[in-house]
Amino acid sequence: MEFSLSDEQRMIIKTTRDFVTHELMPHEAEVEATGVLRPELQAALKAKAIDAGLYAANMPADVGGAGLDTVTWVLYEKELGRTGYALHYNCVGRPSNILCACVGEQREKYLYPSVRGERVDCLAMTEPGAGSDVRGMKTTAVADKDDFVINGTKHFISHADHADFVILFAATGEESGPRGIKKKITAFLVDMGTPGFVVRDGYRNVSHRGYNNCILEFNDCRVPKSAVLGQVHEGFEVANSWLGATRLQVAATSIGRAERALALATEWAAQRQQFGQQIGKFQGVSFKLADMALELRAAELLTLDAAWKFDQKIATDSDMAMAKLKATEMLAMVADEALQIHGGMGLMSDLPLERIWRDARIERIWEGTSEIQRHIISRAMLRPHGG
Amino acid sequence: MQKIIVGIKRVVDYNVRVRVKPDGSGVALDGVKMSVNPFDEIALEEALRIKERGEATEIIAVSIGPDDAQQQLRTALAMGADRAILVKTDQAIEPLTAAHALLAIIKTEQPDLVIVGKQAIDDDAAQTGPMLAALWGRPQATFCSKLTINGTVATIVREVDAGLETIEVDLPAVISADLRLNEPRYVKLPDIMKAKKKQLDVTDLATLGVSIDDGLKTVHTEAPKARAKGILVKDVAELVDALKKKGLVS
Ligand SMILES: Cc1cc2nc3c(=O)[nH]c(=O)nc-3n(C[C@H](O)[C@H](O)[C@H](O)COP(=O)(O)OP(=O)(O)OC[C@H]3O[C@@H](n4cnc5c(N)ncnc54)[C@H](O)[C@@H]3O)c2cc1C
């Protein structure tokens, strides 16, 4: 097994880190204080990200992306994760890989402009009544001559406030399977502004200030059959073949953020004096640091392992679940302990810790909750035993 | 102008807090992050800007160091150097040997300009550039903070103790880059991918006919003494008072 980094990987890490440190981090305080990433600022930073070749680096080379392998992409995501989500995701966009399923005119209209940063996508599965149980979605798309007519409500949809189109999942039929009636799901590409489709403000969120989630409402929204992404009734097949790695994105960005929190905690433990000595000399503090470093390294190895397997096309759902689960739970622990080591100062907005601590919370919920990841891992273990 | 040669040294990253080996034989390098000497990055950035202005056609990055220095040369290639040469040696070499090695490369490449960092942040010797100019018999301009080129003449603004000095040198010449010469660019991601395909030649001192000088000997390395704890003063009056008490001003 080879664990060392290639020259290329080292350089990609450095360039991404330099960009994050010099271009994005200086704006963290403003975004946190105002809760807004100003559109002018976003546009300026996005232009710089495009110029640096960092924008859409997750996409394959043949569609204009950087063509990184999964391990290298994870290393890049990790560096981006060091700063706030609004800044790294809205300025250094990573279009959904599912757009690679675009064919013919869809490529010109959605895929290529997204890679170039001219258009922004968002992806809508979740509904008020269908979260973990995505297949329970009530949004329907009914075929009507050459069109589909869409009705329903989606919520928690990230980036819909500034996206140009949505990758929408809707039920297009039902079939009866061994475990009862199962909905057939289809993916659609729907432009903002299509009649019958409105985007409303979502909820205020404890994590990731400056970035928004929205509510999407469809009332007899008519789209042509050419809006179908992939095949009719095969929305989840398209999603499964392209979205597998999004859990690695959550894992990798969580690891980057945890690294930053641990570095702050280490420095503080070495500098802060109480009872006439460095607090790091108290075992109660130093053992925390050791445990944080240990968990971080374990999460990183699990994530790189899953990424490597993904490249070898041998990654299982369980591998992805383990990486996401471990990295997000590790971040929760590291962020909390880093704050604890800082004492009262850790809670103050003057340091990035309280933000990292708040931001850590969402990572155990989106892209599949911790419970759902444990469900996936345990099912894979029990299935061979008839479970 | 045709060719520019830029010196690229592999050094301990400036963010690393170095530790002296317990036996005092040097600095511990195991597992320590290594980077391009920051002043060499500035030197390369200047060369790239000259080329982008259409005043040069080729930039060659040259390093003298261990096999791993290929990493730093790859970085130089990703930044925009056209090709690279590694003069491989596993020994620690002194500035005079580095200057001889660069001279040997110069003899084959015939550059119109050589830009090096004003010093490397490991030994801070600041000697390679001047020694090279002397051996080559060409002008030198050290501590350059602004460079303009007009045909075969370069105008250099130098940072000297008394302020800024402007000089002209005939090309070919050796210029050493100071901190304020420019701000090096981010390496762009697509350029990193392209760097893999650029030419990187590896040679060694023997092939170049350069022998290792032994004019310098490291006798002992030790860490600087920990500084005594400072005191905080409210204002200038208190500062002057404190200095007087210590007998530092009268
Ligand atoms: C800020 C934000 C942004 C989001 N962005 C998007 C987006 O862009 N697009 C999108 O489609 N979705 C998005 N989501 C939705 C996200 O993926 C869901 O929140 C997540 O899948 C969980 O669904 P839920 O919130 O409805 O919780 P529920 O599914 O209602 O879960 C409630 C609790 O029950 C537990 N639970 C549920 N089922 C099981 C089970 N089988 N076994 C054990 N425990 C179970 C859960 O783990 C959880 O603890 C976003 C969510 C948030 C908060």
Minimum distance, in Å, between the CA of residue A11 and any CA atom of chain B: 7
Taking chain B (250 residues) in runs of 10, the rounded mean pLDDT of each run is: 94 92 90 95 97 96 97 96 97 94 97 97 94 97 96 94 94 96 91 93 96 89 86 90 88
Smallest CA–CA distance from A61 into chain B, residue: B190
Describe the crossing of helices B70-79 and A7-19 by its angle, rounded to 10 degrees. 50
Check CB contact under 8 Å for A52 and B71: no
What confidence tens digit (pLDDT) does each residue in A146-202 have? 999 999 999 999 999 999 999 999 999 999 888 888 999 999 999 999 999 999 999
- A381 and A247 in a common domain: yes
Active site residue A367: yes
**Nearest residue in A to B191, CA atom:** A53
Q: Over range A255-278, report the average pLDDT.
A: 97
pLDDT (0 to 100) of residue B92: 86
Task: Give the one of B189, B195, B196 whose C-beta lies nearest to A66's C-beta.
Answer: B189
Is A115 within the bounds of a domain? no
**Cis bond leading into B172, ω under 30°?**
yes
The Cα–Cα gap between B70 and A380 comes to: 45
A192 and A253 belong to one structural domain: no
Asked if residue A31 belongs to a domain, the reply is: yes
Q: Which of A171, A201, A233 represents a domain boundary (last residue)?
A: A233
**Secondary structure string (H, E, C) spanning chain B:** CCEEEEECCEEECCCCCCCECCCCCCECCCCCCEEECHHHHHHHHHHHHHHHCCCCCEEEEEEEECHHHHHHHHHHHHHCCCEEEEEECCCCCCHHHHHHHHHHHHHHHCCCEEEEECCCCCCCCCCHHHHHHHHHCCCEEEEEEEEEEECCEEEEEEEECCEEEEEEEECCEEEEECHHHCCCCCCCHHHHHHHCCCCEEEEEHHHHCCCCCCCCCCCCCCCCCCCCCCCCCCCHHHHHHHHHHCCCCC
Residues A137 and A197 grouped into a single domain: yes
Q: What is the mean pLDDT of residues A105-134?
A: 97
Cα torsion through B6, B85, B9, B56, rounded to 10: 10
Residues contacting A271, CB < 8 A, separation 6+ = A278
Domain span at residue A306 reads 243-385
CATH number of the domain at A172, please.
2.40.110.10
**Domain-located, residue A116:** no
Q: How far is CA B110 from CA B106, B107, B117, B136, in A?
A: 5, 6, 20, 11
Residues paired with residue A221 on neighbouring β-strands, in sequence order: A150
Choose among B70, B71, B192: nearest Cβ to A12.
Answer: B192
Q: What is the pLDDT of residues A61-71, one digit of tens each?
A: 999 999 999 99
Please choose, from the candidates B113, B114, B45, B105, the residue with its C-alpha nearest in 3D space to the C-alpha of residue B81.
Answer: B45
A10 contact residues in B (CB cutoff 8 A): 71
- Amino acid occupying residue A151: N
Q: Which residue's alpha carbon is at the smallest distance from atom 45 of ligand 1?
A: A371
Q: CA-to-CA distance for A355 and A359, rounded, in angstroms?
A: 6
pLDDT number for residue A231: 96
Report, as an integer, the average pLDDT of A123-143: 96
CB A304 within 8 A of CB A71: yes
**Do residues A75 and A183 share a domain?**
no
A133 shares a domain with A86: no
Residues A377 and A249 in one domain: yes
If one counts every other C-beta atom within 10 angstroms of the C-beta of residue A129, the result is 12
Q: For residue B167, is it left (φ>0), alpha (ψ between -120 and 50) or beta?
A: beta
Question: Where residue A255 sits, what CATH number does that domain have?
Answer: 1.20.140.10
* A373: in domain: yes
Look at residue A242 in the predicted model and tell me its pLDDT.
Answer: 83
Judged against a pLDDT cut of 80, whether residue A243 lies above it is answered with: no
* Same domain, yes or no: A11 and A83: yes
CA distances, B47 to each of A18, A273, B56, B79 (Å): 21, 48, 8, 11
Identify the domain boundary among A96, A111, A131: A96
Same domain, residue pair A221 and A284: no
Question: What total number of domains does chain A contain?
Answer: 3
Average pLDDT, chain A: 96
- A143: in domain: yes
| Tokens encoding A75 | 């290393």
Same domain, A176 and A263: no
CATH code for the domain of A20: 1.10.540.10
Q: In the structure, what pLDDT confidence band is assigned to residue A301 with cuts at 50, 70 and 90?
A: very high
Do A229 and A254 sit in the same domain of this protein? no
Looking up tokens 């589909």, which residue turns up? A148
Q: How far apart, in whole angstroms, are the C-alpha atoms of residue B198 and residue A365?
A: 45
End-to-end CA gap in chain A: 34
Same domain, A138 and A84: no
Residue A85 sits in the same domain as residue A168? no
In a domain, residue A204? The reply is yes
Taking only the tens place, the pLDDT of each residue in A345-359 is: 999 999 999 999 999
Please check whether residue A108 lies inside any domain of the structure. no
**Strands A273-274 and B83-88, how do they pair?**
unpaired
CA of B113 to the centre of ligand 1 (A): 62
Predicted complex ipTM exceeds 0.85: no
What is d(CA A264, CA A271) in angstroms, rounded to the nearest whole number?
A: 11
Write out the residues of chain A at the interface with chain B, using a CB-CB cutoff of 8 A.
Answer: 7-8, 10-12, 14-15, 18-19, 51-54, 57, 66-67
What domains are there in chain B, each with its CATH number? 3-245 (3.40.50.620)
Q: Residue A387 pLDDT > 80, yes or no? A: no
Residue A139's pLDDT band, with cuts at 50, 70 and 90, is very high
Give the per-residue pLDDT at B186: 85
Confidence (pTM): 0.90
The model's pLDDT over A29-58, given as tens digits with 9 standing for 90+, comes to: 999 999 999 999 999 999 999 999 999 999
Contacts with A66 from chain B: Cβ below 8 Å: 189-190, 193
Tell whether A65 is covered by a domain.
yes
